[in-house]
Amino acid sequence: MCSAVLTPAGHEPVVVPAMFNEQWQDGFGARGWKLDVPGAGEDVIAATPYTGERIPTSVFVHDLVDHHLCGFRLSGYLDEAGALIQLAQRTGSDPVPDFQQIVDEDLLTGAVEGPDWKDLLPAALVAQIHPATSAQVGIRELRDRLGDGLLRALFTAGFVREGWRRRDAARAAWTAHGLNYATRPRIALALQALFEWMDARVQEHAWPQARGDFCIHNDAVAFVFTEPTALRHTIGIEADGESSPQRLIPDHRDPSHP
């Protein structure tokens, strides 16, 4: 399907499936989109095209561009460290507020997910925690011993260190898809525009559920709805990073699909 949409010379486009639900039955009940990729479990909250104030792309595009295409899972502290460094590199944003939000909401409260939280701390400090101690008890002991301020700083420093350490692996994962690493910021902006089109279509048609595939190439990105009907849209990627309206390909239905 993607090859029929994007046919530039060179590598075949990268195909990434995505799903929409008006209300996900995952414990959060949010409306929005999720990538249909390994590691996108129920702990990944559905996202909408909302971008916030600091960064011109949404959380969903972050999951696609900085996590999935750079070889990082959608959950896990070390994977998030690597992905947020990639986000910072492509947007010029400061990753520290995002790291500290994770520290404040997950780690200091003891709402820890996964064992890799220890990798964010100095090895000598981790050695003082008994291996059989739960994350909640271990962090409470560290808070009592160090104080919240110092422990927060150590966790934050660990996020920056571990994220930076993974930058070469992220670049290698991206280029292994046949994508130009220097084009990453422009691809992300085009994907954001495409994501806004996708979400507008499900609202326009009042679809409770939808499914389709992203088709990603250095020269253009596209989305092909496969359910509940066939519909596609392509956005060309300009050298200056802007999506050019004259290169937008209008919505097309698959003539073979009713």
* Integer Cα distance of 199 and 107 in angstroms: 33
Q: How many CA atoms lie within 13 Å of 37's alpha carbon, on the beta-carbon side?
A: 22
Whether residue 228 is preceded by a cis peptide bond, meaning omega within 30 degrees of 0, is: yes
- For the stretch 203-228, pLDDT in tens is 999 999 999 999 999 999 999 999 99
pLDDT digits (tens, 9 = 90+) for 118-160: 999 999 999 999 888 899 999 999 999 999 999 999 999 999 9
Confidence of residue 246 (pLDDT cuts 50, 70, 90): very low
| Strand ranges of the sheet holding 220-227, from the earlier edge strand across to the other edge | 32-35, 14-21, 209-216, 220-227, 231-236, 249-253
Per-residue DSSP letter, 129: S
Residue keyed to tokens 């702990």: 43
In the predicted model, what is the mean pLDDT of residues 83-97?
A: 97
Measured at the alpha carbon of residue 180, what is the angle toward residues 14 and 82, in degrees to the nearest 5?
A: 85
Centre a 10 Å sphere on the Cβ of residue 220 and count the other Cβ atoms it contains.
23
SS3 167: helix
Statement: residue 162 has pLDDT above 80: yes
